[in-house]
Amino acid sequence: MLQAAPTRRIGPFNVAPIGLGCMNLSHAYGAPPPPAAAETLLLQALDLGVTLFDTAALYGFGANETLVGRVLKPHRSKITLASKGGMAGVTFPDGVKRVIDGRPEAIRRHCEDSLTRLQTDVIDLYYLHRWDKRVPIEDSVGAMSRLLEQGKVRALGLSEVSAATLRRAHAVHPIVAVQTEYSLWTRNPEIAVLDACRDIGAAFVAFSPVARGFLTSSPPDVKALDAKDIRRTMPRFEPSAWAANLGLLDGLAAIADEAGCTPAQAALSWLLDRADHVVPIPGTTNPSHLREDLGAADVHLPPALKTRLEALINQRTVSGGRYAAASQVEVDTEEF
C-alpha cells in the first residue's frame, strides 16, 4: 500500500495525505473513461490507501456522484466521502447548464439529490462549491449547518473563497476545510487563505495540484484538446501562453531527477511540505499516474531543491491567468 506517511486531519476525519479527485472520471478533461475503467481506478485508489474521495453534484451533472456512490458503497465505512452543492446542472430548453445557486432551498435540494446518487445516508464533508454572491454567505452556511443538525452531512467546507468570507462563514458554523486551486503555478492561497485556515483549525484541500496535467512528464497537447475540455477556456493553456509555460518544464524535470522522483511527485511533495494542514487531491483516469501521484507521499525534497523549484515556477514566471473572465467572477479568492 502506498501512502504509509502519517495521516492528516480534516475536522473530525483522519485522511491519508493525498486524496483522490474524482471529477475527471466523468467530466472536465475530454471524454471520460468507460465505466469499467473508472470503477477499476476508484478501487485501485482504495487499495493503494486513498481514504479521501472528492466529488460534487456538478461533475458530469450528477454522473460522477452516481459512479462514486455505486463503486464505493461497499467500502463506505472505510472512506471519507466529500461532495459539494450550491452549483449544479439545471435543465433548460436548450440543454443542461451549470448554475450557481446558494439559496437555502437550493442547498437542501442539492444535498438530498447527492445523498440519493451517492447511495449513502450521510456525506462526511459537504462543501459549498461556489459562494453565490447574491446570497449572504451566512444564509448558505446556515442552511448547510441545518443539514448537519439533521445528520445528512458530518462537517462543512467551502471552495474558492477569500479569507474574509471564510471567517464570516466560520462565525455561523465551524468550517473544517477550504478547497481551492493550489500548486506551484497557482499560489493565490499563500496571500491569505492558507493562514486563515490554519488560524481557525481548518484543512486546506488543494485542487488541481499537478496543474491540470502541466506539472507532469506528459503535459497535454493543447492543440489537440477535446472540444469540451475545460482547459480550452483557461488562459494558461491558450497556445501562446502554453508555449511559454512549457519552457519551465525542463527545469522541473531536472529538479525532480535530482530528487529521485518524477515531476508530478515533486509538485505534490512540494504541496505536502507547505504545511501539515494541506491535503492535495490530484485527479487521474490513468492507473499508472495514480500510483505515481500517490507515491509523492514518500518523497521529501531537500530544502535547496525546494528553493529552486519555488523560484522556477510561481505566479511571476507563469504566463496567463488561471481562469477566463467568466469563471473568474464566480470565485471569491484573493488573486495575484
Ligand X SMILES: NC(=O)c1ccc[n+]([C@@H]2O[C@H](COP(=O)([O-])OP(=O)(O)OC[C@H]3O[C@@H](n4cnc5c(N)ncnc54)[C@H](OP(=O)(O)O)[C@@H]3O)[C@@H](O)[C@H]2O)c1
Give the binding range for ligand X (CB under 6 A) out of 22-30, 112-120, 196-204, 242-250.
22-30
Q: Which residue is nearest to ligand X (CB)?
A: 21
Q: Which is nearer to ligand X, 154 or 212 (CB)?
A: 212
- H/E/C letters for each residue in the chain? CCCCCCCEEECCEEECCCCEECHHHCCCCCCCCCHHHHHHHHHHHHHCCCCEEECCCCHHHHHHHHHHHHHHHHHHHHCEEEEEECEEEEEECCEEEEEECCCHHHHHHHHHHHHHHHCCCCEEEEEECCCCCCCCHHHHHHHHHHHHHCCCEEEEEEECCCHHHHHHHHHHCCCCEEEEECECCECHHHCCHHHHHHHHCCEEEEECCCHHHCCCCCCCCHHHCCCCCHHHHCHHHCHHHHHHHHCCHHHHHHHHHHHCCCHHHHHHHHHHHHCCCEEEECECCCHHHHHHHHHHHHCCCCHHHHHHHHHHCCCCCCCCCCCCHHHHCCCCCCCC
Does the protein bind ligand X through residue 102 (CB under 6 A)? no
Does the protein bind ligand X through residue 283 (CB under 6 A)? yes
Tell me how far, at minimum, the Cβ of 280 lies from ligand X, in Å: 8
| Binding residue (CB under 6 A) for ligand X from 23, 118, 271, 299 | 23
Tell me how far, at minimum, the Cβ of 54 lies from ligand X, in Å: 4
| Binding residue (CB under 6 A) for ligand X from 63, 155, 234, 264 | 264
| Binding residue (CB under 6 A) for ligand X from 3, 80, 83, 159 | 159
Note if 59 is an active site residue.
yes
**Binding pattern to ligand X, positions 177-216, x when CB under 6 A?**
--x---------------------------xxxxxxx--x
Interface with ligand X (CB under 6 A), residue total: 29
**Binding pattern to ligand X, positions 284-303, x when CB under 6 A?**
xxx--x--xx----------
Give the binding range for ligand X (CB under 6 A) out of 7-15, 93-101, 115-123, 276-284.
276-284
**Binding pattern to ligand X, positions 120-149, x when CB under 6 A?**
---------x--------------------
* φ/ψ of residue 29, rounded to 5: -110, 65
Q: Which is nearer to ligand X, 217 or 304 (CB)?
A: 217
Residues that bind ligand X (CB under 6 A): 21-24, 29, 54, 129, 159-160, 179, 207-213, 216, 218, 264, 281-286, 289, 292-293
